[in-house]
Structure 1
Amino acid sequence: MSFSDYSRFLFNLATLSKEESKEFERSLSERNVRFLYILAPIIVFLNSIHIVLFYYGLEGSSPIEYKWRLGIIVCHSLSLLFFSSLFLTLFLLKDKVDNRTNIDLFISILSFMMGISFGIGLSSLDQLITPAISPFLFICVTSPIIIVLRPIYSILIFLVSYTIMHFLMTSFQTNEAILLSNRVNALSFVGIGAFSSFLMWNTNLKRFQQEKLIKKQKIDLEKSYSSLLETSETIKLANSTKDKFFSIIAHDLRSPFNSILGFADLIKTDLSEGRSENLSQYIEFIELSAKKTIQLLENLLLWASSQTGKLQFSPSTFDIAKVIQNVVQLVYGSAEKKDISIQIVNLHTLYVHLDEAMIQTILRNLVSNSIKYTKVKGQVKIEMQSDGQDLVLKISDNGIGIRPSIRESLFRIDRSISTEGTNGESGTGLGLILVKEFLHLHKAKWEIQSEVDKGTQFLLNFPQCVRDQVTEKD
């Protein structure tokens, strides 16, 4: 480590923002209090041992020894009283005060000062029988490690403590040479303590910064992972969409044309041979295949437009009753072939502000679906309701219902399952996917209620769309 790096390590204290600085000091204060909470009972125990040991043999000792023993007992008694009170206070405050940064800081500074005072007292009393100032050395070294304070606080405490000890030792030590030596040693110990405090502060600061960086990197990694999962899901959906698209083109769109071409060949053959009794039936089949192909193409084009973002949401005000009637007319032929009745409940003029083309597509697909999965002579019901603000549409049937295992896959392109109708009608599952996308554009809510062999109900709720009448702007 170069000198510049070493200096930067020691003196780089102003690298935090105001909020980070508060957070750092709060974490340090909490750390100090945790240490004190553990050490306080240990210190109380050691104080008790020292009091007992120094009290034993107090009687009968020389006047100087008596004064020394009594002073040591008093110091340890004050320490015992302080740390007992500290432990009780911390125990009572535990988990009961939310924002206690200032309290923790006060406790930390007070404990630091008490420890240094204890060292001064013991070292001064020791001058009665020995020139050593070991307690002061021990406290100067250990206090900054146990209690990490902002360096300016600890340095001020050390300087005041040294000043007190400088003058206090003259009351106990009369030998000038020893007194000078102890003063110099005490100054050295204060320097070691100040340096230790400085080093502990900066070490904890570096650790705090590293933890913040690691936490930020962890959050970034989680976000990246989440983004990768979303991208993976998007790619999976795109592949499913592509596969579905080619499947429709390769099979579902080609099959009706093969049927049309097949019946066209039959008509051609019958006409060449002079037969005409089956022509009406062939033409009817061709018409049905053509209608199915047109509906499939419409759904396919709308779906392609929605996938490329070219489909525009264009709401206008219109009479929903007319749209329902138009849809019924469009699907009437399919219903008639299966002798299925279509009942419209509560049909009345009601102006709504929605995308008319999308609403027609939604209704056409849902009603066609109901006809497809309703048995011969069954019933399909369309009901409209309004509370003056929201529009509620219910499309129900008494058909074969939807199995729970299939229900979750109805509106997903990557899982869509198309089952044959009650008369063997085929499908792509694309209609319901369009329904979901169009409902989403309208911010509508929908619900499916179905029971196997009893029927299905699609409940659609379009919020805040009802209008009194068509305005000029609309």
Structure 2
Amino acid sequence: MAKTLPSFFQRFKTPALDKMIIEEEVRTANLSRATAITGLFVPVTIIIHLYFSYNTFGKQPHTLNPLDNFFALNSYLGLICLILFLSGLWLKRSSREHTLLISLFPHLVFLVFATAGALCSIYDQALDRTIIIFLLACLLNASTLLIRPLNLILYLTVVYLFFCYGVYLTQPDQQEVMLIAIDALCVIAVTYAIGRVFWNNNLTRLKQDRLIKSQKSILVHQYEKLSQSNVKLEKSNASKDQFFSILAHDLRGPLNSAIALTKFLEEGLFESDHEERQKMYNLLQNSLNNSSKLLENVLLWSTNQAGVLHFKPMRLNVYETVQSSIEILKIVAAQKNIEIINLVSKYLSISADMDMIHTVFRNLLSNAIKFTPNFGSVEIRSELVINEHNGRESVRISVVDYGVGMSSKTLNNLFRIEKKMIGLGTNNETGTGLGLVLCKDFIEKHEGSIIVESKENEGSKFIITLPART
């Protein structure tokens, strides 16, 4: 908002905005006002026509007099007003197709009414030297229609010269011509002053209206963004609160178990039974390993969320990267007699951050081992795929196990941090599912994707797609 408003204020002071307002707001306002004026004068001319008809009904034809000229002028003016009124209505309905006609329409109405007022005052000179009708016509135009001051002075000058010439021809007393011309000049001056003030005031008001609309639009946009950010923040805070609640619960379990086991060992309850003592040591080791893994994932996740985790992509051989992760987990797999089979092509390369990708493979392999029964197997496969739309190459890596699988409910909430969807492993191994959340975040940092295919009691397949490095 701070950047948008100054740019609009700068635009507000430039002629470009004046031109836009004249082409849009002024043109629209003039069309409506010109249509309203012509529509208003249609019934007025009809009433005048009926008045003259009533007063001359039954009388014998007589010689032409100024009233007859006024009556004829009124009839023509009424017909012209009707035509202009209908034209204005038509232009309002087809405004997008006739922009030039819409721009010229108010100028035509201005000239028609100013000329008609001048003619009425010209014919009136045979009876009286007043120029009230000319005055009213000019003031009506100036206070209703928005005419640019330069055009206004041009139109008024033409009408004034026409009026003076007409008065010169119709005024019997030539000594009065000069006085009438001076009065008419005063009318023109007042009309121009009113028209100029009216133009400037309306242009300023239209600028302010546009500025207010722009500010309102910006405020509405900013409010929507703040509302969306607030919703996301509340959702994120709720998710994190729930996650840390789950984390605290899961961390408390292994630690309490480790404390209890160390007490048993300290008291020497299993000194005489080597097999039971070894079992206790294994339980203690598993408990501490689970706590260590959980804390490691929490540290990585929090570092990634804070934006502190640096992304350093480099060229990596997929086979070697997967194999190094397998070596780390060989001991864990051996405890359940699970075979990890690396079927990845030795010739595929990706551009990735080594630490992040190792974390991804370790978590996926660890989960696969956890949910695979003893004496089972886990496979890692790969293939090169080409995008049909842009022709880009990607490497698709699949971690496949033939274990317990997952339900549809578990699949739908698998990558949501606030949901604890990871249950016990085949040997009662525990976990929170935070590793999968990390996997998704890290894969998306590489502009890749991760999807899961799984059925209960049939196993799971985690499919990673990453941009290939040629």
Deviation at 1:296, TM superposition (A): 1.9
How far does the alpha carbon of each residue in 1:118-168 deviate from its partner, in whole angstroms, 9 at most, with x for none?
111122122334444332222122112331111222233223322321231
Question: What pairs up with 1:436-451 in 2 under 5 angstroms?
Answer: 436-449=440-453
Question: What pairs up with 1:111-150 in 2 under 5 angstroms?
Answer: 111-150=109-148
How far does the alpha carbon of each residue in 1:427-450 deviate from its partner, in whole angstroms, 9 at most, with x for none?
233212212221222111334455
Distance in 1 (CA, whole Å) between partners of 2:231 and 2:178 is: 79
**3-state SS of the aligned residue for 1:440?**
helix
Distance in 2 (CA, whole Å) between partners of 1:60 and 1:450 is: 108
Which residue type is aligned with residue 68 of structure 1? L
Distance in 1 (CA, whole Å) between partners of 2:339 and 2:314 is: 31
Residue 420 of structure 1 corresponds to: 423
Which residue type is aligned with residue 260 of structure 1? A
> 1:208 pairs with 196, 202, 206, which one?
206
Identity, % of aligned positions: 26
Residue 21 of structure 1 corresponds to: 18
Which residue type is aligned with residue 443 of structure 1? E
Residue 3 of structure 1 corresponds to: none
Relative to structure 1, the CA distance from residue 22 to residue 449 in structure 2 (aligned partners, 3 Å threshold; closer, same or farther) is farther
Residue 361 of structure 2 corresponds to: 363
Distance in 2 (CA, whole Å) between partners of 1:15 and 1:348 is: 64
Q: Using the TM superposition, name which of 217-226 and 196-205 deviates more.
A: 217-226
Which residue type is aligned with residue 22 of structure 2? E
Superposition RMSD on alpha carbons, in Å?
3.8
Residue 321 of structure 2 corresponds to: 323
**3-state SS of the aligned residue for 1:63?**
coil
Distance in 2 (CA, whole Å) between partners of 1:334 and 1:32 is: 84
- Is the CA contact (8 Å cut-off) linking 1:401 and 1:455 kept in structure 2? yes
Residue 406 of structure 2 corresponds to: 401
Residue 106 of structure 2 corresponds to: 108
Equivalent pairs, count: 449
**3-state SS of the aligned residue for 2:424?**
coil
Normalization by structure 2: what TM-score? 0.80
Relative to structure 1, the CA distance from residue 293 to residue 195 in structure 2 (aligned partners, 3 Å threshold; closer, same or farther) is same
Distance in 2 (CA, whole Å) between partners of 1:322 and 1:428 is: 29
Distance in 1 (CA, whole Å) between partners of 2:435 and 2:458 is: 22
> 2:280 pairs with 279, 282, 291, which one?
282
- Is the CA contact (8 Å cut-off) linking 2:449 and 2:464 kept in structure 1? yes
**3-state SS of the aligned residue for 1:97?**
coil
Deviation at 1:198, TM superposition (A): 1.8
How far does the alpha carbon of each residue in 1:367-391 deviate from its partner, in whole angstroms, 9 at most, with x for none?
4345555677887554322137211
Distance in 1 (CA, whole Å) between partners of 2:141 and 2:198 is: 11
Relative to structure 1, the CA distance from residue 128 to residue 458 in structure 2 (aligned partners, 3 Å threshold; closer, same or farther) is farther
- Is the CA contact (8 Å cut-off) linking 1:51 and 1:77 kept in structure 2? no
Distance in 1 (CA, whole Å) between partners of 2:35 and 2:259 is: 91
Which residue type is aligned with residue 437 of structure 1? D
- Is the CA contact (8 Å cut-off) linking 2:70 and 2:123 kept in structure 1? yes
**3-state SS of the aligned residue for 1:164?**
helix
Deviation at 1:249, TM superposition (A): 7.1
Structure 1 position 306 matched with structure 2 position 311: no
Deviation at 1:73, TM superposition (A): 1.9
For structure 2, the residue ranges without an aligned partner over 5 or more in a row are 1-10, 387-392
Relative to structure 1, the CA distance from residue 83 to residue 397 in structure 2 (aligned partners, 3 Å threshold; closer, same or farther) is farther
- Is the CA contact (8 Å cut-off) linking 1:256 and 1:292 kept in structure 2? yes
Residue 461 of structure 1 corresponds to: 465
For structure 1, the residue ranges without an aligned partner over 5 or more in a row are 1-13, 468-474
Distance in 1 (CA, whole Å) between partners of 2:158 and 2:363 is: 88
**3-state SS of the aligned residue for 1:390?**
strand
Which residue type is aligned with residue 440 of structure 2? K
Residue 390 of structure 2 corresponds to: none
Distance in 1 (CA, whole Å) between partners of 2:267 and 2:12 is: 93
Q: Using the TM superposition, name which of 265-274 and 254-263 deviates more.
A: 265-274
Structure 1 position 31 matched with structure 2 position 29: yes
